Structure formats: C-alpha cells, structure tokens
Amino acid sequence: MKARLVIDEAVGERRRIVLDEQGRPFRINVERWSEKGRRVLLDQVRWGRVKARIPGNRGWFVDLGVGPDGVVEPTKAARVVEGAMLAFRVKSEAWSDKGPVLSLADMSPSAMPPKEPLLHADPAEDALVSGVEIVETLTGAEARKIADAAIDDALAATVALTGGGDIGIDVTRAATVIDVDGADRKGGGDAERFALELNVLAAEAAARQVSLRGLGGLVFVDFVSMNEPASRRGVVQRFRDQLALYLGRSSDVLELTRFGVCEAAVARRVRPLRDAVSASAAERGALDVLRLLETAGEQDRAGRLKARVSGAAAEWLGADRIGWREALAGRIGPRWTIETADGAGGPPQVWSE
C-alpha cells in the first residue's frame, strides 16, 4: 500500500500517523518524552533475568530492567531457568496491566550476557511503517492538524460511514465489540442489497479502526443481518482482506454466525492508542498546553503568550523533568506566562496578549 507519513514533533510528545491512499489514518504511534528509555518496544532484543514461574506453569516472568516484567510463554528450551540472564525479543508491547510478551532471541553462542538487564538491539524495522510504501512525509502545522483529527477519530465511540450509518466500538477487558448500525442511511426496497452495501463499508471501517487504535485479542463485529450465503461470505472476506491490508499481517477471521456476528483473533503487538495517550491528568494537561503554546507562538511571532492550566498541570510543568522550558524557548522564544486556573481548572487555555 502507498501511504503518507505524518510527523508532529511537539514539545513533550511525538505523534506519528500513517494515512492510506484516501488520506485516512490507519496507524498511530504516540511517544511522550517522559517515556523515553522507560518502556520496551516491539521487536527490540533485550537481555533480561528470568525471575519466577507464572502460576499454573504458564511461562516465566522476566525482569527487563525497565517497565513491567515481561512474560515468556511456555517453552521446551531448557535454558529458561530461574535466575538465568537471557536475550529476549519483544513480541508485543506492554498494555494496561499486562507486561510485554517475549520470545527467546537468536544469539551467537559466544555472546556474553551482561550482569544486569539492558537493551541489546533496537528493531531492524520501524513497526509503524511495516508493509507500506511511504510516498510523502508531512510535518509542521499541517501535520499537527492531521494528528489532532486522527487522535479524535481513534478515540471516538462511533465512526460514521459514507452515505449514512455508523459503527460503534466498545473495548472491554475480554474483547472488542463493534456494532454496525444503519441509522440514518437511505436505501431502496432491496433489504439484502442495503445490508450488503452497509456491511461492506462497515467491514472496511472496522478493520481500519482496529489498526488505528492498536486493538488486539478477540474482536466481534455484529453486522446487519443478510440472508444470501454469497453476501455473508463476501462481507467476511472483505473484513479479512482489509485487516491484512491495514495491519500488514493476516488474522484469523471466522465466518458469520447465524446471528450475523463475525469473530476475529487479532494478534496484539503494539500498545493500544488509548494507553499511549492516557498519561496522568497532570501530564496530559501539561502536554496539551505546551502544544497549544507552541502552535500559538508559531502563528503569532511577536506577541506575548498566556496560558491557564489546572493546578496539577502547573505543578507538573514547574518540575520540568523533561526539559520543556529550554525546548519551547528554542522554538518560539521565552515569551509565555503560565497561570493556574481556579478550582479543577478544566481544559488548558492559551491566548496572545
């Protein structure tokens, strides 16, 4: 697939988005400066110390030196024993309260293990652009607008379909449920054709959203009922193909049940977007106001800027653990004042004096 890469390098946070040939976002990577070097990434090779068996003999916990303990699944490799220092490849990143999933890495027999867990090698390929051909890279003000819209798209509870109708997305601990609704969509008298056209659009949108949001595990799509076997098979195949296109890999997708539900098992590799953007309220408010200040400073090259944030965000900014003051001054000059809002504060505000 030919795609465009969008890079928004804001003070405090880097957002990268991949757009399909129609300009729709289908992959997002968000990295806060506060996280740099503090979490393991997909396809890294890291030395880790085997800590203990997982209850029920379901594998081992591994200390990787940063972030939560990794999990290596049951293996016949005799060298996975408690206390061993071994090289592991990250198969999937940590998410929610789950640690990263690991596999044993191929290492030369002459490789000497370090005394403490550490990074051995970064990924050979950027997972964000795996399987796509980047034909253009966008940065600057345009990239920021696209990134803002993509994040909103990826966090919305419902996604509108072309011509009417929508899909609703509900992520639970056990599974992701996607419901297809004809809503205000207009159709002729042929109910089967109406359902088929709606479901095909929904299958495409559902696949894109699974990729965009970094979802994994069990995914259930409740399509509008169809009677014709060919229609039912066609919708499932469309969902299967679009998942492979957007994810860059195949997934197990079953045929529709008699109730019109399609079940898919999607391998989880990267952390979900919701986890990536769910910093503490203090940090989230601080990062949002820094982005607003930077944007306002680029639009108004001479004016003094003022910002109002919650008390928690102001305290987070005051500590300046990520070096934002120097970075922001280097981009727009040291010409801002930040004040604390009364009470809970609400969303951050920025204006020019």
Rounded to 5 degrees, what angle do the CA atoms 241, 217, 63 make? 125
Mean of all residue pLDDT scores within the chain: 94
Cα(118)–Cα(149) distance, integer angstroms: 37
Evaluate if residue 272 carries a pLDDT over 90.
Answer: yes
Phi-psi region of 5 (alpha: psi -120 to 50; beta: other; left: phi over 0): beta
Q: Are 235 and 203 in contact (CB under 8 A)?
A: yes
Q: Which residues, including other chains, have CB under 8 Å from residue 56's CB and lie 6 or more apart? A: none
Token pair 């504060």 is found at 345
> 277-282, long-range: CB within 8 Å, 24+ apart, which pairs?
277/30, 277/151, 277/155, 279/32, 279/34, 280/312, 280/316, 281/310, 281/312, 281/313, 282/310, 282/312, 282/313, 282/315, 282/316
Which DSSP state fits 42?
Answer: T
Cα(298)–Cα(42) distance, integer angstroms: 34
Identify any residues that bridge with 253 across adjacent strands, giving them in sequence order: 264
Query: Which structural domains are found in the chain, ordered by start?
Result: 3-37+128-134 (no CATH), 45-121 (2.40.50.140), 156-274 (3.30.950), 280-352 (3.40.1260.20)
Q: Tens digits of per-residue pLDDT, 74-131?
A: 776 667 889 999 999 999 999 988 999 999 999 888 889 999 999 999 999 999 999 9
The phi and psi torsions of 46 (rounded to 5 degrees) equal: -130, 145
Q: Tens digits of per-residue pLDDT, 157-184?
A: 999 999 999 999 999 989 999 999 998 8
Which DSSP state fits 256?
Answer: P
Which DSSP state fits 305?
Answer: E
Residue 153 CA: distances (Å) to CA of 26, 130, 209, 245? 10, 22, 9, 19
Residue 40 CA: distances (Å) to CA of 186, 213, 237, 249? 48, 19, 35, 22
Q: Are 267 and 216 in contact (CB under 8 A)?
A: yes
Tokens of 15: 């957002």
State the pairing for strand pair 252-253/349-352: unpaired
Return the half-sphere exposure (C-beta side, CA atoms, 13 A cut-off) of residue 163.
11
Question: Is residue 286 exposed (0-12), middle (13-18) or buried (19+ Cβ within 10 Å)?
Answer: buried
Q: Tens digits of per-residue pLDDT, 24-57?
A: 999 999 999 999 999 999 999 999 999 999 988 8
Evaluate if residue 188 carries a pLDDT over 80.
Answer: no
Count other Cβ atoms within 10 Å, centred on residue 191.
13
How does residue 150 score in pLDDT terms, banded at 50, 70 and 90? very high
Closest by CA to 18, choosing from 35, 1, 33, is: 1
Rounded to 5 degrees, what angle do the CA atoms 213, 217, 223 make? 75
Evaluate if residue 346 carries a pLDDT over 90.
Answer: no
Phi-psi region of 214 (alpha: psi -120 to 50; beta: other; left: phi over 0): left
**230 three-class SS:** helix
Closest by CA to 315, choosing from 278, 277, 280, is: 280
Average pLDDT of span 208-218: 97
Q: Tell if the pTM clears 0.85, that is, is over it.
A: yes
